[in-house]
Structure 1
């Protein structure tokens, strides 16, 4: 059975992110190798991964090399650092689908790069990235930045189980 995974903010090729976010890597190559291994340890070839932005700072050839090494059907929602490149650039490097805008998943989850405005009366959950190690309070937000999840994509079931009480999952 295929699974759906969510992740964001890998920042491949951005060596300063190691210091900015206190990532546990000594250099960019170690970070890249470790994050590819973490991705592939969780994601199967037939699984679907929603990457919620800020994927790579590398050139087209190096980015394509990383994308081809990652398991799964890869769907990218462009982040603020991805927008300098066209949608077709991201498709060319190997993403299966690319969206310039947030999307709705499973009629309940807003997938976006940056957190969206949500108030406590809205019955939805915003699955997002962008804010790295920070976290918004409340059950309306779910941060899938790699810093929160040991640099590994997380399953839809993990998100659902953490934000939707068991009696409501029915």
Structure 2
């Protein structure tokens, strides 16, 4: 299994126990994150037109994004950004993001100059130092880990959904095996989760990062739903159903062993 990114040895041991199914993605310590966001599009001249943002110019948008970010995030906070941080002349737009508070992790989106979905290896090597100079800690396209013991994925891309008619960059999207997924990319203005996907982009949340406690509440809801389904499965088995409990649980996509675990 790949090493944990930004994770203590204790968290690494817990995550290794909690992730028996998904081995293909690099792991990340979500327990360290205070805020999450996506799709800021700093200096993108047309994003207000394309995404119906209430700004008269890219400069006005940049100033307001910085103000709202720093009003929300403290210098010591940890922020996870799920891609498309800045566009336009990148040597001018990226330095603006150095003004943003916090320790900033970036999962690249298709518009980032370090995106494996849209950039060559040579281009990524060329532009990566610009991101690092602006204070960004680069992450892979898809990361997995746990938040308070619950399995969680994050990617710029949702399992499905796009701003266009057809899903783009499908080979760079996570495989949907039922794990909760945090994502951006869609510029959806309706906030909150849809099933086991949660869009965290600024267009849905007042053009500012959101506290990860909101994600915690969503994960708690998902966990309660799983526990209710698991209880139904156990009840049916206790009533003499011929199908074994383990087989029913597998059909419903429930990890009964994980439901019985107590997070550290």
Report the TM-score range of the alignment, normalised by the length of the smaller protein. Answer: 0.7 to 0.9
- Once the two structures are TM-superposed, the CA of residue 139 in structure 1 deviates from its matched residue by 2.8
Q: Distance in 1 between matches of 2:222 and 2:140?
A: 33
Which one of 127, 133, 138 corresponds to residue 98 of structure 1?
138
Q: Mapping of 1:66-85 within 5 angstroms?
A: 66-82=96-112, 83=115, 84=119, 85=123
Asked if 2 retains the 8 angstrom alpha-carbon contact of 1:63 and 1:93, the reply is no
Q: Distance in 1 between matches of 2:135 and 2:89?
A: 13
Structure 1 or 2, whichever has the larger Rg, is 2
- Once the two structures are TM-superposed, the CA of residue 60 in structure 1 deviates from its matched residue by 4.3
Unaligned runs of 5+ in 1: none
Which one of 145, 152, 155 corresponds to residue 201 of structure 2?
145
2:183 aligns with 128
TM-score, length basis structure 2: 0.56
Asked if 2 retains the 8 angstrom alpha-carbon contact of 1:128 and 1:142, the reply is yes
Asked if 2 retains the 8 angstrom alpha-carbon contact of 1:50 and 1:75, the reply is yes
- Cα 1:134–1:24 change in 2 (3 A) is closer
- Once the two structures are TM-superposed, the CA of residue 162 in structure 1 deviates from its matched residue by 3.0
Higher normalized helix content (fraction of residues): 2
Greater Cα offset, 14-23 or 159-168: 159-168
Looking at both structures, which has the greater relative contact order when contacts are Cα pairs under 8 Å and sequence separation is at least 6? 1
Q: Distance in 2 between matches of 1:137 and 1:166?
A: 10
Unaligned runs of 5+ in 2: 1-31, 160-174, 225-261
Q: Distance in 2 between matches of 1:54 and 1:128?
A: 11
Listed one character per residue, the Cα deviations across residues 2-58 of structure 1 (whole Å, up to 9, x for unaligned) are 851110101111111101111011111111011111111111101011110001113
